[in-house]
Amino acid sequence: MSSEGKSDKSTDDQPAETLMKKVLLKRKGDFTDRNPKRIRSKEIRRGLDDSTLKETEYYFENYLRKVYPYYFTYTTFCKGRWVGRQLIDVFCEEFRAHSKEEYEKNITVGNIKVNGKPVTGDYIFKENDRVTNKVHRHEIAVVAAPINIIHSDEEFVVVDKPPSIPIHPCGRYRHNCLLFILAKDYGLNELYSVHRLDRLTSGLLVFTKTIKKSQEINEQIRERKVKKEYVCRVVGNFPDGVIHCKEPLEVISPKMGICIVSPNGKDCETIFEKLSFNGTSSIVQCKPLTGRMHQIRVHLQYLGHPIINDPIYNHEHAFGPLKGKNGEMGKSRDQLLEDLLKTHNLQKWLIDDNAPILQNDDTDANNSINDQENKMSLNALEYYIKSNGYEKLVEKYVKKPENFIIEDSCDLCHQKYMDPQPKDLIMFLHALKYQGDGWEFESPLPSWAKDDWKENVTEAV
């Protein structure tokens, strides 16, 4: 199920970060509440309380920030599309993070309940049903980087977001999201985000300290009064001059967050200009005039110059040999989504002790490519890992074996998962500047955005 819910240590009220997302971001996630009467102003002001922050702790290992497993209860209400359908069918279709067998087991032991009561898998959903799912939660690691606070005053907190860290709780990230890290490490318990960055995107992120200021900035963004500037590193020699891309974008999978250029899409405009070329890749300035999901990434793909380490829109297996240039995929949308799902799911982290070790020319070639990608990514990640404050965090978050809780009924406790590799933690897209009415902020350039930076790295990972 989705990331919003309540901890077993909390009251029946929904967590504050959920409510903040509902009010400020109007997200259409699994737990979005369409009834504004349920939102009370005192809950919005509450921020992240101590009981939520103390659900678990961090520890640092292999240059990664990790979270000790902990118990958590997801909560949602029956969606209109669920009414009249069986519970097990809804879970398997809507929440694909786990297998049907695991959901059936959790229904049987009573971890999944409807209106506070145990049910069977063939339970038929009715309107206003309240569904809870108690889980032993395991989070995915993120880069162990301090958060560089660029600016802080009575109205704003502006940070240079490291790659790999999502802003809000989502999927298998909760404590390992920026809102929780800022609250736990820096005492900033009540922040309101005014714009979003993808998890792998780095750079400028603006928070406000009051909901009034947040609404003011959001209004400026809706009226397109905020100027935004990004930089990225793309494949090949990007064309000279100013490139104005106006291709409309369509979201073909809200669940997976996949967009394509399509005549049925919404209007979308991005201005690009090459800043440098190192013989292999180009640094490109990007100025999005609209705020569509993934618009910089998809427009660059369409132009034939995707971001060099974009795990989705520079994926040859999913988008074909042309990688989506000029909108050419060579397959149906359903097949595209199926191929992307195969390469971007939980199974990629699973270590199978019984798998045979087979080596061939293709395996060696893939290992060589992966090794080079990891070297390049680690070289870029050092900019964040070696920043001020890292050593203090390492001392604070020493791994403590006694903090691990093993749950017999938890499948994840009995699986072995590999750490994310460096190439899984970064994408070369960086939010550089944001300017609105009466405010302007800029972040430092990351190392990979410098003119003399090279992809080829000789040092071992």
Residues 6+ apart with CB under 8 A from 194: 24, 206, 207, 208, 214, 217, 218, 221
Q: 57 or 352: which carries more pLDDT confidence? A: 57
* Residues 69-88 pLDDT 10s: 999 999 999 999 999 999 99
Owning domain of residue 341: 142-352+374-449
* Radius of gyration over every alpha carbon of the chain, rounded to an integer in angstroms: 22
Verify that 209 and 224 share a domain, yes or no: yes
Verify that 164 and 217 share a domain, yes or no: yes
Residue 211 lies in a domain: yes
User: Is the model's pLDDT at 173 over the cut of 90?
Assistant: yes
* Residues 392-423 pLDDT 10s: 999 999 999 999 988 887 888 888 778 999 99
Residue 270 lies in a domain: yes
Verify that 310 and 396 share a domain, yes or no: yes
* Residues 335-354 pLDDT 10s: 998 888 877 654 454 554 44
Verify that 288 and 335 share a domain, yes or no: yes
Of 1-5, 26-30, 86-90, 265-269, the least confident = 26-30
Verify that 273 and 290 share a domain, yes or no: yes
Residue 66 lies in a domain: no
Which of 159, 167, 156 is closest to 208 using CA atoms?
Answer: 156
Query: Can you give the CATH number for the domain in which 184 is found?
Result: 3.30.2350.10
Token pair of 364 as six digits: 């060696």
Which of 122, 99, 103, 123 is closest to 111 using CA atoms?
Answer: 103
**Number of domains observed in the structure of the chain:** 2
Q: Which residues are known to be catalytic?
A: 198
Verify that 157 and 133 share a domain, yes or no: no
Q: How many CB atoms lie within 10 A of CB 17?
A: 22
**pLDDT band at residue 321 under the 50/70/90 scheme:** confident
User: Is the model's pLDDT at 241 over the cut of 60?
Assistant: yes
**pLDDT band at residue 456 under the 50/70/90 scheme:** confident
- Prediction pTM value: 0.82
Query: Can you give the CATH number for the domain in which 90 is found?
Result: 3.10.290.10
